[in-house]
Structure 1
Amino acid sequence: MIVQDQTSVLAFLKDSASYGESVARVTTLDTHISVIVFVGQRVFKLKRAVHLPYVDFSTAARRLAACRQELDLNRRTAPTLYVGVRCITREADGRLLFDGHGELVDAVVEMVRFDENTLFDRMATRGQLTSALLTELSRTVARFHTNAAIDHRRTGAASIASVLDSNEQALAEANIFTSATIAALTAKLRTALGHHEALLNARERASKVRHCHGDMHLRNICLVNDVPTLFDCIEFDEAVATIDILYDLAFLIMDLWHRGLESGANLVFNRYVDERDEVDGLPLLPFFMAIRAAVRAHVIAMQAGQATGQRYEELVREARAYIALAFRFLAPAPPRLVAIGGLSGTGKSTVAAAVANQLGPAPGARILASDRIRKHLRGVPAEVRLPVAAYHPEVSEQIYAVLMQSVRATLANGHAVVADAVFAEIAYRERVEQIALDAEVPFTGLWLHAQPDTLIARVDARRGDASDATVDVVRTQLASQNSPAGWTWIEAGGTVTSTVARVVEVLACRAPQR
């Protein structure tokens, strides 16, 4: 609800003469709690004078404090974007000025203007969110979470319970959802909260609740000097952003999923967990994604309340789509284990990335790849080539031991797994099958096959790949290969599309019952 008239402030900000320089054009963008003013190479962000269940910008003093908090918090991730805070004062002659000596009327955050075409929501629409870009974004988020301030003032369950409380109220006030829909979603969310209470509290004790970004969807990410950069974090309520780090990540993953980029969502999830060992929190991800979808539903519904005509209808449909997505995330999805083996160059990692989002609970299977584990244990990025010594038999035995341990731990947490390795030795194949038996989950073994010339050509063409296999390695593998009995043979010498289609067909035939 708007509680204070900002007409004069908006007029001041829209007047090019207010900036004391030659400004050809001033444009604005409205959001549900802010007005963004674009002036040349600068941006000024004004807080709306609103008092809502989750934010109080009802006075100029509150808005100034929020601006200062926004500056400090966003400089954690985007120091070059955030310039400062400008006070808007009313002088003795009635004029409004930036940083004058008169009465405080309002405040704005001043930012450097960036190329809006690099906003990740726009790049997603254009199909420009490449695997490399999403990988770098995942690493950026992981580093940010590692350095974020730890907070032990509330239990993990209490933090999430407050989100459910405020969101239930906001959904009811939106007047576009039926009471039955709100009641059904609320009941499912609260049941899930009760189920996860002990885990949420354990993660808080393990310092997994931190002062995070809080609003990490694609529109709050851009490129600065070609680097993925988080901006516009939650500043108006510290409690809203002091959350489990996986709940922070869940907004990004949910947003990708909502846009039909399920593979991208799964990639971000996997690259993030490559950087941070969050296997204990895997049961929480579908729950967190459902909450994020429900929160997004009420925000869109609020925007609908300020729209008319066709725009109103579009926003209502979008809000209801988010509610449907929340229900989908909360639906049971049993775990399973899929092992993808084959010689170097058969496309194991490509196939794994293409099908993982379709397996188990959202955001899809954890991909555990021997190549990435090998690099992780050496403390280098997956793209860095290792020396030959890193591939000695005793090292490979260690890699498979870690792979098997990780598969077991992930399945124990109710999540699906794709194990990606050559699996040339019978012993390794038997070990991974036994893990599935012990965990009582369905197992599918896939053996990818391609002709020698195809394998050699593919490996020779690789650049910046997690695999360090060379043409000589392929020739050595060909000399000693043995096809596994009991695993499904997949012809992988054709296109990626045809190989993936065959794999999807096999997996669908052997899908576990929900």
Structure 2
Amino acid sequence: MGLIEYLSRDLGAKVVQTHASWVLITPDVVYKIKKPVNFGFLDYSTLEKRKENCQKEVILNRRLCPNIYLGVVPISLVDGRYMLEDDSNVVEYAVKMKRIPEDSLLINRLPRTTQEDVRMVARLLVDFHAKAERRDEWGRLEVMEFNTDENFVQTEKYVGITIEREAYNYIKKRVEEFYTKYEDIFEKRIREGKIRDGHGDIRLEHIAFLKEGVCIFDCIEFNDRFRCGDVINDMCFLSMELDFYSRRDLSEAYEEEYKKLSKDEDFDLLLNFFKSYRAYVRGKVYSFMLDDPQVEDKEKYRDLARKMFALSLEYTKRMP
């Protein structure tokens, strides 16, 4: 019997899979075990790398979610049995977390979420970004160009499937024009300390409203390039998702609060550029699902990708 099958039966746990992890969910705690995979941008191929990334995940996520991440625990194979939190013959590691109630997640409480709720999130993020480590090297123009060029290369095969040629060409052209026109802004952002070690994945499903306050969890630990960058790029992922779910009232309140408290003079200039980038990335990710043989409902992801690319186009048209 394999590790996941054994532990899920032993714990009576529900198992949820992602492309990179197995998540074992019990009534009170969750164990997240990384798969031995290497996707290039993510490398969990050895036990040592999985241990290192588990440790990094706990340290980074405690910044915005201090009470949920309990630590990294070893898993040993002893006399043919897999033993959690045993270090006698370690064969794997897991991140141990308190279970977050499903109804506390922003994605599940969106209909009853208020403007004050998202202002709380904005206040938390302004403080977080102010204290986060400066990572100037990730703010260079060529880094952002690499990210957007990568997106365009990887999505060209989906032209005519999830994005129309006209939209693809327009977004690409406007992004290149933005770089040419505002090249100096990227250097200015670095000088002013606006490039920080952020979260990288501030989405509706990663925000929980708990008794002890707002918790933003599941940050990107596996690749610094996806986590570190401009603070507006970090915060606006949530704006984009709120827009996607037709809660523009919430995204506006969130953006206004962040802008007011951060006193960021480049906010209006950069907001739609970064929102377009975030929507395009999600369109790309949903498009990738069409090539995954394990994904059954291809039409669902085709529709989601089309909607994300359409949103990216809308933001691009609003760019200065």
Q: Say yes or no: TM over 0.5.
A: yes
1:62 aligned residue: 49
Give distance in 1, aligned partners of 2:192 and 2:251.
26
Q: Residue type matched to 1:62 in 2? A: K
What is the RMSD of the two structures over their aligned residues, measured on CA atoms?
Answer: 2.3
1:88 to 51, 75, 90: 75
Larger Rg belongs to: 1
Give distance in 1, aligned partners of 2:190 and 2:291.
37
| Post-superposition offset of 1:70 | 0.4
CA contact (8 A) 1:53 1:166 kept: no
Q: Residue type matched to 2:116 in 1? A: A
Give distance in 1, aligned partners of 2:149 and 2:308.
18
Q: Residue type matched to 1:41 in 2? A: D
| Post-superposition offset of 1:264 | 0.9
| Post-superposition offset of 1:65 | 1.2
1:280 aligned residue: 266
1:319 to 280, 305, 316: 305
2:130 to 146, 149, 156: 146
1:47 to 34, 39, 44: 34
**Per the alignment, do residues 235 and 40 of structure 1 end up closer, same or farther by CA in structure 2, a change over 3 Å counting?**
same
1:342-491 equivalences under 5 Å are: none
**Percent of matched pairs sharing the same residue:** 25
CA contact (8 A) 2:194 2:230 kept: yes
**Per the alignment, do residues 88 and 79 of structure 1 end up closer, same or farther by CA in structure 2, a change over 3 Å counting?**
same
1:244 aligned residue: 230
CA contact (8 A) 2:30 2:98 kept: yes
2:19 aligned residue: 32
**Per the alignment, do residues 264 and 158 of structure 1 end up closer, same or farther by CA in structure 2, a change over 3 Å counting?**
same
| Post-superposition offset of 1:71 | 0.2
Write out per-residue CA displacement over residues 114-138 of structure 1, whole angstroms, 9 at most, x where no aligned residue.
21111001111xx111011111111
1:75 aligned residue: 62
CA contact (8 A) 1:119 1:223 kept: yes
Write out per-residue CA displacement over residues 396-421 of structure 1, whole angstroms, 9 at most, x where no aligned residue.
xxxxxxxxxxxxxxxxxx6xxxxxxx
Give distance in 2, aligned partners of 1:245 and 1:90.
44
Matched, 1:231 2:217: yes
Give distance in 1, aligned partners of 2:225 and 2:157.
22
**Per the alignment, do residues 11 and 195 of structure 1 end up closer, same or farther by CA in structure 2, a change over 3 Å counting?**
farther
**Per the alignment, do residues 225 and 322 of structure 1 end up closer, same or farther by CA in structure 2, a change over 3 Å counting?**
same
1:205 aligned residue: 191
Q: Residue type matched to 1:166 in 2? A: E
2:100 aligned residue: 114
Q: Residue type matched to 1:212 in 2? A: G
Q: Residue type matched to 1:147 in 2? A: K
Q: SS at the partner of 1:57?
A: coil
| Post-superposition offset of 1:84 | 0.6
| Post-superposition offset of 1:240 | 1.7
1:464 aligned residue: none
Give distance in 2, aligned partners of 1:186 and 1:53.
25
If asked which structure has higher relative contact order (CA below 8 Å, sep 6+), I would say 2
CA contact (8 A) 1:156 1:243 kept: no
**Per the alignment, do residues 33 and 251 of structure 1 end up closer, same or farther by CA in structure 2, a change over 3 Å counting?**
same
CA contact (8 A) 1:77 1:230 kept: yes
**Per the alignment, do residues 304 and 112 of structure 1 end up closer, same or farther by CA in structure 2, a change over 3 Å counting?**
farther
CA contact (8 A) 1:159 1:243 kept: no
Q: Residue type matched to 2:130 in 1? A: T
| Post-superposition offset of 1:189 | 2.6
| Post-superposition offset of 1:53 | 4.2
1:135 aligned residue: 119
Write out per-residue CA displacement over residues 210-230 of structure 1, whole angstroms, 9 at most, x where no aligned residue.
000110011110012162211
Give distance in 2, aligned partners of 1:196 and 1:260.
30
**Per the alignment, do residues 303 and 281 of structure 1 end up closer, same or farther by CA in structure 2, a change over 3 Å counting?**
same
2:286 aligned residue: 300
CA contact (8 A) 2:74 2:90 kept: no
Give distance in 2, aligned partners of 1:187 and 1:53.
28
**Per the alignment, do residues 226 and 130 of structure 1 end up closer, same or farther by CA in structure 2, a change over 3 Å counting?**
farther
**Per the alignment, do residues 39 and 111 of structure 1 end up closer, same or farther by CA in structure 2, a change over 3 Å counting?**
same
2:5 to 3, 6, 11: 11
Q: SS at the partner of 1:65?
A: helix
Give distance in 2, aligned partners of 1:155 and 1:136.
27
1:429 aligned residue: none
Write out per-residue CA displacement over residues 183-206 of structure 1, whole angstroms, 9 at most, x where no aligned residue.
554343333233332112210111
Which sections of structure 2, spanning at least 5 residues, go unmatched?
none
Q: Residue type matched to 2:303 in 1? A: R
CA contact (8 A) 1:174 1:302 kept: no
| Post-superposition offset of 1:208 | 0.2
Give distance in 2, aligned partners of 1:218 and 1:135.
14
| Post-superposition offset of 1:39 | 1.3
Give distance in 2, aligned partners of 1:247 and 1:86.
33
Aligned residues: 316
Matched, 1:168 2:162: no
Give distance in 1, aligned partners of 2:81 and 2:158.
38
1:401 aligned residue: none
Which piece of structure 1 moves more, 209-218 or 173-182? 173-182
Give distance in 1, aligned partners of 2:194 and 2:75.
39
Q: SS at the partner of 2:67?
A: coil
Which sections of structure 1, spanning at least 5 residues, go unmatched?
1-6, 20-24, 334-360, 362-413, 415-514
1:344 aligned residue: none
